[in-house]
Amino acid sequence: MGTRLAELVERFGGQLAGDPDLEVSGIAPLADAGASHLSFLSNSKLRAQALASRAAALIHSPADEEALAAGFAGARIVTKNPYAYFARVAQYFFSLTEVRPAPGIHPNAVVAAGAQVDPSAHVGPFVTIEEGARIGAGVVIGAGCFIGRDAVIGEDTRLFPNVTFHAQCVIGKRGVLHSGAVIGTDGFGFANEGGVYIKIPQTGRVVMGDDVDIGANTTVDRGALADTVIGNGVKLDNLIQIAHNVEIGDHTAMAGCVGVAGSTKIGKHCMFGGAAMINGHIEIVDNVYVTAATMVPNSIREAGQYTGFFPVAPNKEWERAAVLVRNLEKMRDKMRELEKQVKALTETK
Amino acid sequence: MGTRLAELVERFGGQLAGDPDLEVSGIAPLADAGASHLSFLSNSKLRAQALASRAAALIHSPADEEALAAGFAGARIVTKNPYAYFARVAQYFFSLTEVRPAPGIHPNAVVAAGAQVDPSAHVGPFVTIEEGARIGAGVVIGAGCFIGRDAVIGEDTRLFPNVTFHAQCVIGKRGVLHSGAVIGTDGFGFANEGGVYIKIPQTGRVVMGDDVDIGANTTVDRGALADTVIGNGVKLDNLIQIAHNVEIGDHTAMAGCVGVAGSTKIGKHCMFGGAAMINGHIEIVDNVYVTAATMVPNSIREAGQYTGFFPVAPNKEWERAAVLVRNLEKMRDKMRELEKQVKALTETK
Amino acid sequence: MGTRLAELVERFGGQLAGDPDLEVSGIAPLADAGASHLSFLSNSKLRAQALASRAAALIHSPADEEALAAGFAGARIVTKNPYAYFARVAQYFFSLTEVRPAPGIHPNAVVAAGAQVDPSAHVGPFVTIEEGARIGAGVVIGAGCFIGRDAVIGEDTRLFPNVTFHAQCVIGKRGVLHSGAVIGTDGFGFANEGGVYIKIPQTGRVVMGDDVDIGANTTVDRGALADTVIGNGVKLDNLIQIAHNVEIGDHTAMAGCVGVAGSTKIGKHCMFGGAAMINGHIEIVDNVYVTAATMVPNSIREAGQYTGFFPVAPNKEWERAAVLVRNLEKMRDKMRELEKQVKALTETK
């Protein structure tokens, strides 16, 4: 029923210490793991918990080898990045039980005559696919999704139920679009004439690379004239808003509720904490980490972590601090006055 | 056509002062109420408005009894919690005219052979229900909803149109899921290996208690290994993001646009103002009230109200305050310098 | 294939300098435009770019006339508001190629017998239209939309796929509802009784004027007793939450991720930056501009720009500033102490 440790090491590498024929049937956290489980130690601070774990086997790094070899009775797989190793093993166990939807188009889907759907793709009930759309091999399109004209869905990409993917937009291979995501809606573009807004047609696309994940109810607007561009390996969590003509570099990740305003360019390998808000028409270089709940009004030209939120406090304390912040100018002026007076006193002494 | 006050008092309690045979046909605010309306005074500051109201009858608390007995000509229902009383009476009037969808499965729904749908449940058009799902008695599933494999929807729970409820997730009795809500989407879990993200399968569930309300376009992620847990009576407004493995205690309420990051534990009877942002892996005890637009980075161990947002001001004022905040260290250093100088002056005098 | 400049000037006004028979086939940004393109200069700072553009013709304002007449070889259309002119010309070119869905009800839609759908309207697949709903002339309802009982959709309004439009709600003419928008979901109204929430039925509507745009996954709650009201020409971007009984004046615009709490009244011609958060039960007058990421707790009674967010900084700097902000009271107290000491020194000198 389980998988031999030897087979895991053969698939995913690592040094095995212990019985290669030992079988494990799944992964569990240190505290919950039992005799049929593999567990993992990715943070040495949890070493005591690892030593006490009843897991059959542990994935850990060389840094924990000495302690675990001495104190943990089960088998061990030693690897440089135990968390990544855990992810791969978890994917493997998941794949053993996952119910993959069967290839084919559900009779309750509406697929335009001129759309191309690879025979290995799954199209669920109540899906609409418009003219000219191309659905690649191994793609899964969940119930209720909409795919607009000439849209392109790359191989092995999965759309969970109720995704809206508008005309002409493109996603590469192995992407994941979670439920409620809306790709390629019109950007928010209006000209103001005497206080009245005149709509600017949004004729660009959204073009996404390979291995892109888009979270539930996240929205990515199509470009105004040029395209909105999402790089390879970009991971967006739920309820994120990406405005028109934004460009996001490869392997950048954003936590939930982030907003990025129009035409902003974000580098590679950046990370954005939840509800970070990024102004439009700015640039953020590679390897920038913006803390949660931080507003970024201007370009960031140097890698590093950036933060900006008001510190939380019991409400009364905050009220006093807020008043003082609003009156900082007065405080500064008083300070200058004092400086003058002290200077005068010192000189006339 | 109306309902006798005596009947209302029989159903919902309270002391009636006035004609028990007087009939009212609905509820209206103090200012709008006419001769066929019941109104309510839940805040004594509005007493003058109550006295001037043309409502047939008023619901109010004992604290307002003296004033209203003297100055209000209509009937009165005296009760400890007039707002709750109003809510119950409003529910009653609403139920008299509400169009409840009829039991049965719409011919345009797709229900798997192995799903159990109680005969008293309503399943609307374009609904997909997958294998093994269980739909309880009196449940209403609006048009376009998706219910994944082995999901469980408790008695009398209502899903408004276009809700996505993923595999294995559970909601108890009398729940309300508003349109666009997405329950049980994958949590945002990745291992980083050399800058590239490797997905960690999310195999936990979302488990919700009884009397839970989930707002429109709100997202609740399934757990990574363990479950995401939403207690009884929890009320979530629209556009809220609840990340994987969060636990929310009974009768906690959150206003719109709140975000809660992964693995955070929130106590019972807490309240979160709109767009409050809660960090991951922290704990918030019972009876905590977080003001709107406040970021909570660390655990909160004592009940009370907590606040943290920058005070708004006319833009120019804010600009000056913001510069001073960024330069607070300089101000502090100058102050220290002054303290030294003054000390020196005092000593050498 | 193209359109003569003379025709554009005839349709949209402006002074033409150059060959009236010159044909252009589309609009492009200054840098990308070629010999078949019209481009525009709406910001004089980009004048150098305009002079270097290879566009066949430029739209610009009288302020740039002298420079462009001297230095730009192509044709020119001079107009007071080049950006608005650009918007109109872009709409014109867009209309030439746009695929408008054909009138008629898709066989896979479910339309109640008592709903009125104008014969010129388009109703896509998997759309549900309930009893009593009225769909005006020229309306387009995309795939998977839900229209509740007695809802009213005005002429030429367009619902993109997967919009939920609840019972009794109203939108005027020429509106645009983007995918995933939810109009008329219950407001977040509960009475608290001993820590338990009792739902208050939400029996008001959402009533929207003409020329209203609602962004993707934006939610607008129905009123509790009275209506939620959205004025003419209001433009809401994606992922915005408008709570019950809010009123928004004509031609007000909000960028993505904004939240407005219940019963707040907002004036005309206001603008809200992304993720601005507006408290409930307040009033904001006409012509107020709230900067992105700003929390507005109280009414704003004067037009102007208002801002309030903590300035972003490298994380270590922010940490020090945050500590000092929390300790501002101590700093203020020290300052007062110093003032006393200096006063004493000055007097005893």
Are the C-beta atoms of residues C297 and C280 closer than 8 Å to each other? no
Residue A254: what pLDDT?
Answer: 98
Q: What is the nearest CA distance from B199 to chain A, expressed in angstroms?
A: 6
Closest CA to A239 of B222, C337, B243, B300: B243
Cα(A159)–Cα(B331) distance, integer angstroms: 55
Q: Which residues of B touch A313 (CB under 8 A)?
A: 306-308
* Nearest-by-Cβ selection for C219 from B211, B217, B312: B217
Inter-CA distances, C123 with B86, B162, C107, Å: 41, 17, 9
Residue C347: what pLDDT?
Answer: 84
Residue A98 CB contacts under 8 Å (≥ 6 apart), including other chains: none
| A292–B196 C-beta distance less than 8 A | no
Residue A138 pLDDT more than 90?
yes
Describe the strand order of the beta sheet including C247-248 as a list of residue ranges.
Answer: C116-117, C134-135, C152-153, C170-171, C206-208, C228-230, C247-248, C265-266, C283-284
Q: Which amino acid is at B41?
A: L
Residue B1: what pLDDT?
Answer: 67
Number of H-type helices and E-type strands within chain C: 6, 40
Number of H-type helices and E-type strands within chain A: 6, 40
Neighbours of A69 (CB within 10 A): 12
Instruction: Write the DSSP string, C25-37.
Output: -EE--TTT--TTE
Helix, strand or coil for residue C290? strand
Instruction: Using the structure block, give the residue that is written with the tokens 């006055």.
Output: A337
* Nearest-by-Cβ selection for B331 from A83, A233, A335: A335
- The highest-level CATH class for domain A105-306 is mainly beta
Chain C interface, best mutation among B38, B237, B271, by max C CB count within 10 A: B237
Residue A346: what pLDDT?
Answer: 85
Question: Helices B315-326 and A328-348 sit at what angle, rounded to 10 degrees?
Answer: 50
Q: Which residues of A touch C338 (CB under 8 A)?
A: 338
Inter-CA distances, A100 with A141, B83, B150, B183, Å: 11, 51, 15, 20
User: Which CATH number is associated with domain C104-306?
Assistant: 2.160.10.10
Residue B349: what pLDDT?
Answer: 65
- The highest-level CATH class for domain A3-97 is alpha beta
Residue B87 CB contacts under 8 Å (≥ 6 apart), including other chains: C190, C191, C198, C199, C200
Nearest CA in chain C to B338: C338
* Nearest-by-Cβ selection for B342 from C190, C192, C342: C342
- Any chains having at least 3 CB pairs less than 8 A from chain A are B, C
Cα(C159)–Cα(C145) distance, integer angstroms: 8
Are the C-beta atoms of residues A252 and A234 closer than 8 Å to each other? yes
Inter-CA distances, A106 with A121, A144, B124, C113, Å: 11, 11, 19, 28
Residue C346: what pLDDT?
Answer: 85
**pLDDT tier at B11, thresholds 50, 70, 90:** very high
Residue C145: what pLDDT?
Answer: 98
Tokens of A175: 């992407």
The mean pLDDT value for A100-107 works out to: 96
Closest CA to A320 of C319, B305, C332: C332
Cα(C286)–Cα(C303) distance, integer angstroms: 6
What average pLDDT is seen over chain A?
96
Q: Which residues of A touch C61 (CB under 8 A)?
A: none
Q: Which residues of C touch B81 (CB under 8 A)?
A: 191, 193
Residue A337 CB contacts under 8 Å (≥ 6 apart), including other chains: none
The mean pLDDT value for A181-187 works out to: 97
Q: Please, which residues bridge with residue A28 across strands?
A: none
Q: What is the nearest CA distance from C126 to chain B, expressed in angstroms?
A: 6
Closest CA to A240 of A214, A268, A266: A214
Phi, psi dihedrals of residue A285, rounded to the nearest 5°: -75, 180
Q: How many residues would you count in chain C? A: 349
Helix, strand or coil for residue B128? strand
Phi, psi dihedrals of residue A133, rounded to the nearest 5°: -70, 150
* Nearest-by-Cβ selection for A261 from C81, C83, C274: C274
Chain-centre distance for alpha carbon C117: 28
Cα(A52)–Cα(A73) distance, integer angstroms: 10
Tokens of C312: 């972003």
Phi, psi dihedrals of residue B124, rounded to the nearest 5°: -80, 180
Cα(A192)–Cα(C84) distance, integer angstroms: 7
Q: What is the nearest CA distance from A209 to chain C, expressed in angstroms?
A: 22
B244-288 tens-digit pLDDT:
999 999 999 999 999 999 999 999 999 999 999 999 999 999 999
Closest CA to C325 of B310, B321, B325: B325
Q: Which residues of B touch A328 (CB under 8 A)?
A: 320-321, 324-325
Closest CA to A37 of A79, A70, A5: A5
Q: Which residues of B touch A55 (CB under 8 A)?
A: none
Question: Which residues of chain C are modeled with pLDDT < 50?
Answer: none
Residue C349: what pLDDT?
Answer: 66
Q: Which residues of B280-312 are buried (b: 16+ CB within 10 A; e: fewer)?
A: bebebbebbbbbbbbbbbeebeeeebbbbbbbb
Residue C99: what pLDDT?
Answer: 85
- Is the pTM for the entire model greater than 0.95? yes
Are the C-beta atoms of residues C263 and C284 closer than 8 Å to each other? no
Chain B interface, best mutation among A81, A85, A94, A126, by max B CB count within 10 A: A126
For chain A, the structural domain boundaries read: 3-97, 105-306, 315-348
| B342–A339 C-beta distance less than 8 A | no
Q: Which amino acid is at C11?
A: R
Residue A349: what pLDDT?
Answer: 65
Q: What is the nearest CA distance from A205 to chain B, expressed in angstroms?
A: 24
Helix, strand or coil for residue A114? coil
Are the C-beta atoms of residues C61 and C82 closer than 8 Å to each other? yes
Phi, psi dihedrals of residue B145, rounded to the nearest 5°: -75, 155
Closest CA to A170 of A101, A243, A223: A223
Cα(C85)–Cα(C72) distance, integer angstroms: 19
Out of C60, C122, C178, C244, the active site residue is C244
Q: Is B244 a catalytic residue?
A: yes
Out of A37, A244, A251, A269, the active site residue is A244
* Nearest-by-Cβ selection for A144 from C144, C211, C312: C144
Please tell me chain A's helix, strand, coil percentages from 3-state DSSP, rounded to the nearest 5. 20, 30, 50
Domain B106-306 belongs to what topology? Answer: UDP N-Acetylglucosamine Acyltransferase; domain 1 (2.160.10)
Share of chain A above pLDDT 90, in %: 94
Cα(C223)–Cα(C186) distance, integer angstroms: 8
